[in-house]
Amino acid sequence: MSKYATKANENVFYLARSEAAKFNDSLASREGASEMLGTDRTRLARIELGSQDPLPEDVLLMADLYKRPELCNYYCTRICPIGRKTMLPMIDGTLSEMAIKLYCAAHDMDEPAEKFLRMMADGKLDAMETEELKQIVPEIEGFTNILQSWLLIAKKQLEGGERIEEKWIHESY
């Protein structure tokens, strides 16, 4: 790989490219990566230096080329204004760790799901049920986040990528 970029050394997009360069020499330089991404080298440099936010299309291309689907979650939960309000950052861990978390979370969902179904039996929410729903929603969001994180890690494993447990993703979140 070409020289180490000290100014970009903590940027997730730079780190993802650096890791991908271990398997694809063309990604060792911004020049090579920008050609493969179909973007301008200076634009890629600004993204990696953090002086310019990438567009969603940029992130999709990088995630695919670098074999880092977690870049999409990073973008959505850290950069995109809509995603920051509607999504949670992925939970990191190995596939087996996430499977255990998912199993436990699924069992923990029995009570909130039952409460919700009872509330909806008459098709209406009264004031008391609305307050209960306010407590249930975060539990469901937590379960959904665990499920989404597990799916992302499972897809990465199926694509033959490395496990998502490397230093750069832990430190970025």
Find the CATH number of the domain harbouring 66.
1.10.260
The pLDDT confidence band at residue 173, using thresholds 50, 70 and 90, is very low
Rounded to whole angstroms, the Cα distance separating 117 from 76 reads 31
Say which residue the tokens 């008459």 belong to.
122
Tokens of 103: 């199993």
Is position 163 within any domain?
no
Question: Does residue 133 sit in the same domain as residue 74?
Answer: no
Question: Does residue 122 sit in the same domain as residue 149?
Answer: yes
Question: Does residue 59 sit in the same domain as residue 17?
Answer: yes
Rounded to whole angstroms, the Cα distance separating 115 from 9 reads 48
Least confident of 5-9, 47-51, 131-135: 5-9
Looking at residues 95-123, what average pLDDT do you find?
92
Closest CA to 164 of 68, 77, 22: 68
Say which residue the tokens 């986040």 belong to.
145
Q: Considering the entire predicted model, what is its pTM? A: 0.78
Question: Does residue 56 sit in the same domain as residue 32?
Answer: yes
Work out the mean pLDDT of the chain and round it to a whole number: 88
Does residue 169 register a pLDDT over 50? no
What's the domain range around 72? 12-87
Question: Does residue 81 sit in the same domain as residue 21?
Answer: yes
pLDDT at 155: 86
Looking at residues 145-158, what average pLDDT do you find?
91
The pLDDT confidence band at residue 161, using thresholds 50, 70 and 90, is low
Is position 161 within any domain?
no
pLDDT at 49: 95
Does residue 18 register a pLDDT over 50? yes
Is position 7 within any domain?
no
Q: How many domains does the chain have?
A: 2
Question: Does residue 35 sit in the same domain as residue 79?
Answer: yes
- Of residues 136 and 156, more confidently modeled: 136
